[in-house]
Amino acid sequence: MACPPPLPRRILNLAAAIAVAAYACFPAPVSGIRGCKHDLQCCNSYEYCVSCCLNPSKTKKEDVLKLKVAKPVTAGSTEPSSVSKLLGINVVVGRPGESCSLVCKVRGQSCVPSRLSVLNKCEILQKYMRCKSGCFHSLGPDQPAEVVDEAPTSLNPGACLYMQMDERLTCDGSHQHTRRLCPCA
């Protein structure tokens, strides 16, 4: 008989969070007793009392505040983090009008095209650039980039730009009114 496929990590993380919440309801389960101990405003058996334990009126606020649950962005993620994907890569902000190929070449390095997709995200752009006018998806060979402050108003000066289609990212693109975020090695 074949084993069932493993549960997705998100389900396992949710189950773990419920188990932690249930444990907060009853620090020491009483064996042999099933059901909720309403007089203690708490549960005594995880298997039979999850709904009781997770009932807000039966849960102590101070116990809940002690819990630490993973943020949705990281919960269940099996992909390497952006930080680990950038190991050995120098992330460099170019000058206006420079391509990443030029930015890296000036430093005696080469642009790593496969790492442009790691930089092509708002949260990464905001880490290295100001993005004072926001972060927007756009089309252009010069992305990921930030529009320079001196650009015409119609180009949204101060905005960070990323491309939704990673396969179109290139090290050679440039625009006179943007500063590129480049992966050099």
Please tell me the predicted confidence (pLDDT) of residue 61: 56
pLDDT in tens, 137-163: 999 999 999 999 999 999 999 999 999
Q: Which residue has the higher pLDDT, 1 or 112?
A: 112
Q: In the structure encoding, which two tokens stand for residue 35, read together?
A: 């059901």
**Virtual torsion, Cα 100, 106, 111, 115, nearest 10 deg:** -70
Q: In the structure encoding, which two tokens stand for residue 82, read together?
A: 């952006």
Please tell me the predicted confidence (pLDDT) of residue 85: 87
pLDDT confidence tier of residue 56, bands split at 50, 70 and 90: low
Q: In the structure encoding, which two tokens stand for residue 23, read together?
A: 């444990």
Q: Which of 25-29, 35-39, 55-59, 171-175 has the lowest mean pLDDT?
A: 25-29
Exposure letters 53-77 (e unless 16+ CB within 10 A, then b): beeeebbeeeeeeeeeeeeeeeeee
Please tell me the predicted confidence (pLDDT) of residue 69: 45
State the pTM of this model: 0.57
Q: Which residue has the higher pLDDT, 126 or 67?
A: 126
Q: Which of 91, 110, 95, 105 is nearest to 175 (CA)?
A: 95
Please tell me the predicted confidence (pLDDT) of residue 123: 94
Contacts of 146 (CB under 8 A, 6+ apart): 93, 125, 129, 130, 131, 158, 159, 160, 161, 178, 179, 181
pLDDT in tens, 69-95: 444 444 444 456 777 889 999 999 999
pLDDT in tens, 98-108: 999 999 999 99
CA 164 – CA 155 distance, rounded (Å): 18
